[in-house]
Chains A and B, each alone.
Chain A
Amino acid sequence: MRRIAYTAFAIAIALTSAMAVADDAKRLRIISWADYVPAEVIAEFQKETGIKVEVTLSNNEEMISKLRATGGAGFDLAQPSQDRILGAQQEFRIYKPIDLSKVQVAEFLPDLIETVRKNASLDGKLYALPYVWGTEGLVYNAKKTKIADYTDLCRADLKGKVAVRLKRPTLMAFAFASGKDPFALYGNVKAYSALMDEVGKTLSACKSNFRFFYDNKDQLLNGVRSGEISAAMMWDSGGWNLGRENPDIHFINPKSGAIAWLDTFALPARGKNDAGAYAWINFTMRPAVAAQIAKQIGNFTASKGADALMDPKLKAQFAATFPDGLKNVRWYPAIPPGLEEIEGKVLDRIKAAN
């Protein structure tokens, strides 16, 4: 009896490990942002390839921290912003280089490929491919107020009516609004620290204006929808979505410039299904699929052919926010390691200020 139980146990172990091996090729684990991997696209992809996509929702910092904790294992595809790859790779070695021969490069917008080449290459190897880009600017409710630049958020009449994130984009925005260029100071730690201290003081001084610091999108969306928030720093797709629901809500390009981000595809160093990851990248860059994703997220993708298929309403909203195109927009350059520590202390001080 005991022998039978033992044999059954051994067979069970052997079976599960065999299944695990087979599973790796049939399973694609993506760590990404909310809405970036729409359910319909997952279903179509599975129908075509038989690969099941599992999504973990995250943000830039968490992606890096999770991959760092495992040395780049646990996920087969990550979607960090292009400026957050180089520093993390130098420091923690969490990604592996992209093999361009497995990617249909012709499907991508050449400008965006150039951007990642510039910002996400290390020792001659490319670590990212562009996926979706967008901007962060200002949103306001015209029934309650009107603003034109980041510093207007600190106006006395907006006391308790403003929301921002207590994160680096807010620091960058207020640095630009003060007339300086923080990106130009990335290489100069001393000048950068001084600028950040100054921005920290500005933000601490207008703290009574902030109703809350949001760290998830629903908190902000609820605040704006309910009218508790009159003005906020926000990303474009969220602002345009709110504008579609309520025409009084406008997303604008601030006078000192919206800040543009580009989110990417990157391969975690110990991912187990690279073939699946490349298949997914190529699949999502097909014009039809890319246009569907763009509609879902409300942002523009890196797919060259998708532009012609874009939602005309979204195009109109884009033209209203950026009448001169992307001239007055600042793209994030790669962050050198160490700067985030400086910013972190400034952010802590703002939070602790009274």
Chain B
Amino acid sequence: MTASEPNWQRRLLLALLLAPALLWLLLLIVLPHVDLALVSFRERVAPREYVTSLAQYQTFFTEPLYWQIFVRTAVVSAIATAITLLIAFPVAWTIAKIAKGRRAALLFLVCLIPFWVSETVRTLGWMILLRESGVLPSFLVKLGLVSAPPELLYHDATILVGLVYTSLLFMVVPLVNSLESLDNALIEAAYDLGAGGLTVLRTIVIPHAAPGITAGCIVVFMLTLGNYLTPNLLGGTSSQWFTEQIYNQFITRFNWEQGAAFGFLLLALSTTMVWVGLKASGQRFADVMQRS
């Protein structure tokens, strides 16, 4: 394109290029959400009769049950995110700084391979490993550590294992990205000036990797919060996840109004948590998104 072309032509081209993305946003994200919002402010008074009301949101605040599930989901997701970060950091450090060339690529591939199979299959794999008649409990008996095979499935800790495993890659990638750009000379200089390992980590590595850490945490937190399969399959008789509650309202209770309201509450929760996370770590959203 040359500068001599009229202005409107350039604008038209820009509009055309943006059109698919904008249409996608409008038709598949904005419109359904507007509809869902309208549904969430409805209440069924008689068969096929609905009135506008705040009843759905009221139920959420007055029924302690839903509150508890909501808070539980948020807390477990936060714990899962923290554990994922703790496990992913050394992995990312090894890939970015210690391993060289092909070995680094190989390590990265190892992180990626579990994602070649679908989430369902991965989760079912965990079930086969952990169930009472499964691989790990019988192995523990063989080693003589326990007398009867323990049931490792259906606990909250099992959910955490599944969630961390599922989200590991989404933490490793942004961490590797942000650690790779860290100049080794800075670390060496810090050591030369007499800093210890912890001080280097605290004052040089973490501040440099902060956008990557925040990006990874945001992605992992959102993925865990919205996960349906893992808590459902690995969780026990008491483990309600908020997404499960939304599914139940929509599908088994035919209560779309309540389900829609729950959906918006979950959206509000994830938005708030991301905002709080950004404020607490002093990051700007745009910087973080560039890194992820």
Residues of A within 8 A of B (CB): 61-62, 64-65, 68, 88, 90-93, 160, 166-167, 207, 210-213, 226-228, 337, 340-341, 344-345, 348-349, 351-354
Contacts and interface: CB of A to CB of B under 8 A. Distances in A.
A344 B252 contact: yes
B255 A344 contact: yes
Given A62-B251, A64-B254, A344-B252, A207 B132 contact: no
B183 interface: no
Given A61-B252, A348-B248, 12 more contacts: A61-B251, A91-B254, A207-B238, A212-B154, A226-B131, A228-B151, A341-B253, A344-B249, A349-B65, A351-B240, A352-B65, A353-B238
Contact of B248 (A88, A211, A226, A344): A344
B64 to A, nearest CB: 9
A344 B236 contact: no
B62 to A, nearest CB: 12
Contacts of A340: 253-254
Nearest to A215: B232
A164 B239 CA distance: 16
Contacts of A68: 254
Interface string B213-256: 00000000000000000000000111010000100111111110
B11 interface: no
Contact of A348 (B48, B236, B245, B254): B245
A246 B9 CA distance: 77
B114 to A, nearest CB: 23
Contact of A352 (B131, B238, B249): B238
Contacts of B63: 345
Contact of A211 (B48, B151, B245): B151
30 contacts: A61-B254, A65-B250, A90-B47, A90-B48, A91-B48, A92-B254, A160-B151, A167-B252, A207-B238, A210-B237, A211-B154, A212-B236, A212-B237, A226-B132, A228-B131, A228-B132, A228-B133, A228-B151, A340-B253, A341-B253, A341-B255, A344-B252, A344-B255, A348-B248, A349-B65, A351-B237, A352-B65, A352-B69, A352-B238, A352-B240
Contacts of B236: 212
B53 interface: no
B269 to A, nearest CB: 18
B52 interface: no
Contacts of A352: 65, 68-69, 238, 240
B179 to A, nearest CB: 42
Interface in B100-133: 131-133
B237 A213 contact: yes
Contacts of B255: 341, 344
Nearest to B149: A228
Given A212-B154, A212-B237, A65 B254 contact: yes
A207 B133 CA distance: 22
A83 to B, nearest CB: 15
A56 to B, nearest CB: 14
Contacts of A213: 237
A88 B254 CA distance: 9
Interface in B233-289: 236-238, 240, 245, 248-255
Nearest to B134: A226
A354 B156 CA distance: 13
B248 A227 contact: no
Interface string B136-156: 000000000000000100100
A348 B251 CA distance: 14
B88 to A, nearest CB: 31
A251 B164 CA distance: 41
Contacts of A341: 253, 255
B251 A354 contact: no
User: Most chain-A CB neighbours within 10 Å: which of B47, B151, B250?
Assistant: B47
Interface in B49-73: 63, 65-66, 68-69
A352 B154 CA distance: 14
A167 B253 CA distance: 11
A148 B66 CA distance: 36
Q: Which 3 A-B residue pairs are closest in the complex by CB-CB distance?
A: A61-B252, A344-B253, A226-B133
A65 B252 CA distance: 8
Nearest to A65: B251
Contacts of B47: 90-91, 337
B131 A348 contact: no
